[in-house]
Structure 1
Amino acid sequence: MQVMSFGRMAILTDPTGAVFGLWEPATHNGWQVVDEPGAPAWSELMTHDQPSAVTFYSTLFGFTVEDMSSGGFRYASLHQEGVAAVGVGAYGESVDRAVPAAWTIYFAAADVDASVARVVEGGGAVVRAPRTHPTAGSHWSPGRSARSSRSSRPRRRPPEALSRAPRVGPAHGAARSTSEVVRTLSA
């Protein structure tokens, strides 16, 4: 579907039933700001059939796969040119098979606790409270690698990188609206 002069999009489902969007940029490249509160930080898919989803997305986009599974938890980080792009995890055995596969988008927050409080004040609800990750630290952002560093300025992807960037995740229009809401709540 053509979206004015911005680009073209499609909404699809993968073999596990997860809805995702594709974006072909024209005048609007998509996400350009990262490592800034309110900017998209990570996307991950949770599904009952994680191996099929990993195969599907790695084949579709040419991702390389880093298996991060441990114990009873199955998870893979899918990489584009050596950089983590998205994650794909398996629902645990206790999750009802009727729960559909779903993508989740994470937004960067300078203070997760303060942002959660603002979400609740704004009428949202807490599905999973902030927690400390055993190796990544307090209020971790799953998309931030150990080698990434914070700076006082937001990072912007150069236009040439955008043309190679995979367009996986929520449909552009929905993501933009959600991002604007999160930026308002994080301000």
Structure 2
Amino acid sequence: MTPEWEALIVGINRYPEYTNFNDLTVAALDGENVAQRLEQYGYEPFRIQDLPLGLTQKGAGELSSTGLVKLEELREAVANLFNPPPPNQPPETGLFFFSGHGCRQEVDGQQDVFLVTSDAFPDVGIYGYPLRELGQQIATSPVKQVVIWLDCCYSGELLSLLPFIPTDKAYCLITATRS
């Protein structure tokens, strides 16, 4: 049986030097704090997945073994939250929290915003998880209540995805910045 409320909590502090992004100091802790509050005060019990794995099981200020989150890892986790493969059932409520770097880049003549993953390599055109892809996951999702909480630069661009988001769901969209 699938829990009715599921959350994917992502807090990325570590960005290797080749990414051109500086390490952050509180993104992972922010993710850990959100997960703890959901567990303590959530209206319903949440089943929580965290990235990097083990984020919420560490003590304050500690990172999991590497603290890295790769693009494919994030892509798969988002897909599993909003569009789980059969025989898994979708949750009634899906919450996605991301804290880390965000960036805006032009790709194939189109501006897009990316949730920067630890394996981003801008010099070769790899920026992270595109917000456009997140919008597509939400648009095709059977999840009835969607909560998206983005704590990164350019997170307000999520609001530009509203034309792609169907109206048959309840939404709570929280962004840290304007577009």
TM-score, normalised by the number of residues in structure 1: 0.27
TM-score, normalised by the number of residues in structure 2: 0.28
Which structure would you say has the larger Rg? Answer: 1
